Amino acid sequence: MTHYDIIVIGGGMNSLVTASILGKSGKSVLLLEARNQIGGLASTTEFAPGFKCNVFNDVVKWIDPRVMKQLDLNAHGLELIKPDVVRIALGNESLHIAFHRNPKQTAESIANHSEKDAKVWEDFTEYIRNLTHFLEKLYELTPPSLPNVGLKEALGMRSMLGPLTKHGTRGLVDLMRVIPMMMPELMDEWFENELLRSAVSTAGIHHLSFGPFSAATGYNLLHQHVHSGGMFHNAQFVKGGTSELVNALRAFAESANVEIRTHSKVSAINVENGICSGLSLDDGEILETNTVVSGLDPQNTFINLIGASKLNPNFHTQLRNIKYRGSAARIHFALNDLPKINGISEDQMDTVFSISPSIEYLERASDAVKYGRLAENPYVEFTIPSVPNPDFGSNGKHVLSATVKYAPYHLRNQNWSDELKEQLKNNVIRVLENYSPGFSSIIESSSVLSPVDLEKQFGLTEGNLNHGEMTLDQFFFMRPTMSSAQYKSPIENLYLCGPGTHPGGGLHCTNGFNAAREILKR
């Protein structure tokens, strides 16, 4: 039986990063993925004959610069497409707002709606950029173990002095003000135009179950703009599809002698007397190792694979208190032609589109989570990935991929079914046709992923994309719990590296990098 220094569970982005860094350090590493391909939600797949899609993520907002450098992703095949227009907020009567890489051009687009808002746009983006400097340094840290913070831990946080020196105590005060804010409060300080207020607010609710009127959506807005250089709604397409980011990580991992196995489902993490000794697989194989690293969410890692009986009761209670509450669905449309969008030319199709006429529209859509039903007028964010990547369609055919909110995992007096997914799809088509008349007539087929599908197919508890809500009570030293926030779990030899750890969800890979660093300190 082959013995490995480290076994990593899960083939997602963070698992690949952790495995790569550990392999590079000379450790013998095995990575196990239950599905037939690695990459998780960053996968690209054929969803209909002749049509490909990115399963969930069409764009990359930011990647940790440390990962880009140490894993040399560009040299391993990663090529990012950076469109000039990163997002278009669709408005009534073709009066849209285009968010450009150049803030001056964005201001020109905003001026068609409000001269006042246009004048302060560059100040706003600079304000957000300054606040994200604090998060960039915070995200590089391993959270302290509270309340036992000694001199060593305090010195470990000295990198936070950099942004404090640069932006002063005023910058820190601004950060502490914005993080707990709800979107209308922040927007009231800056903008008057309703379409702009709503378009900016969508960053605050990204992949959350909450609406814009919820506290701490300010924090989520900042999280989306870390390492974005002040570019609001930063979006980068991966040439060839999002799976090419996965392939670049895989190429580095294999160059570091990491062994990757697919079709290898873990049935149990073997723990006795609080010590992890290895894993059991579905086929009966038992693997022994010095260290196990889980890229799965806390529910799957501890409750499902270890079991409550082998956990400390207090820790078990902390785990049960983690909030997941998935509320996003994904719909892919196979189209026999490029859709026509009012006021949008063909050369503007290589971007992200959002449909959210007002903050109130977003809030009403979020009420669906509260009442356990589908949003009748959902918030829809979509791309046409076949424009930057023509091989997603064929012979002039195209794909439109939509992320839909709110479609809650927890429904009242009903369950997710094919009929309900059809209803969700029809709601989305109706919203799309307000801006793309005749859209339904070019649909050949479609694929709908509900939160329940995300749970079943990708092992995401309650279909939550972040492995736990991005809220202040699940932030930094409380993510996923106070006793496991340092990437090391209370179980000896067992570590965590998934989005359920600090600093949360996204394709940025920071979690995996930080986890590997902690493991190498042993």
pLDDT at 136: 96
The dihedral built from the CA positions of residue 360, 361, 364 and 365, taken in this order, carries a sign that is: negative
Q: Provide the phi-psi class of 370: left if phi over 0, else alpha when psi is between -120 and 50, else beta.
A: alpha
Cα separation, 243 vs 220, in Å, equals 25
- Which CATH superfamily is 4-78+240-323+467-520 part of? FAD/NAD(P)-binding domain (3.50.50.60)
Q: Which two tokens stand for residue 20?
A: 């790569």
pLDDT at 153: 59
* CATH 3.30.519 given to domain 325-458: yes
Cα separation, 371 vs 75, in Å, equals 49
pLDDT at 156: 63
Cα separation, 481 vs 331, in Å, equals 33
Q: Which residues contact 311 (CB under 8 A, 6 or more apart)?
A: 302, 319, 490
H or E segment at 271?
A: strand 266-272
Name the nearest CA neighbour of 77 among 234, 228, 243, 235: 243
Tens-binned pLDDT, residue by residue, of the chain (522 aa): 578 999 999 999 999 999 999 999 999 999 999 999 999 989 999 999 999 999 999 999 999 999 999 999 999 999 999 999 999 999 999 999 999 999 999 999 999 999 999 999 999 999 999 999 999 999 999 998 876 666 565 556 667 777 878 888 889 999 999 999 999 999 999 999 999 999 999 999 999 999 999 999 999 999 999 999 999 999 999 999 999 999 999 999 999 999 999 999 999 999 999 999 999 999 999 999 999 999 999 999 999 999 999 999 999 999 999 999 999 999 999 999 999 999 999 999 999 999 999 999 999 999 999 999 999 999 999 999 999 999 999 888 999 999 999 999 999 999 999 999 999 999 999 999 999 999 999 999 999 999 999 999 999 999 999 999 999 999 999 999 999 999 999 999 999 999 999 999 999 999 999 999 999 998
Name the nearest CA neighbour of 327 among 141, 167, 454: 454
**Three-class secondary structure of residue 472 per DSSP:** helix
The Cα-based distances of 214 to 204, 219, 225, 362 in angstroms read 9, 11, 19, 11
- Cα angle 336-338-342, degrees, rounded to a multiple of 5: 135
> DSSP letter string over 10-37?
--SHHHHHHHHHHHHTT--EEEE-SSSS
The Cα-based distances of 485 to 466, 469, 488 in angstroms read 15, 15, 7
The Cα-based distances of 377 to 197, 402, 406, 452 in angstroms read 18, 14, 9, 21
pLDDT at 330: 98
pLDDT at 438: 96
Cα separation, 336 vs 285, in Å, equals 47
pTM for the model stands at 0.95
Segments of the chain assigned to CATH 3.30.519: 325-458
State CA 512 to chain mean position distance: 14
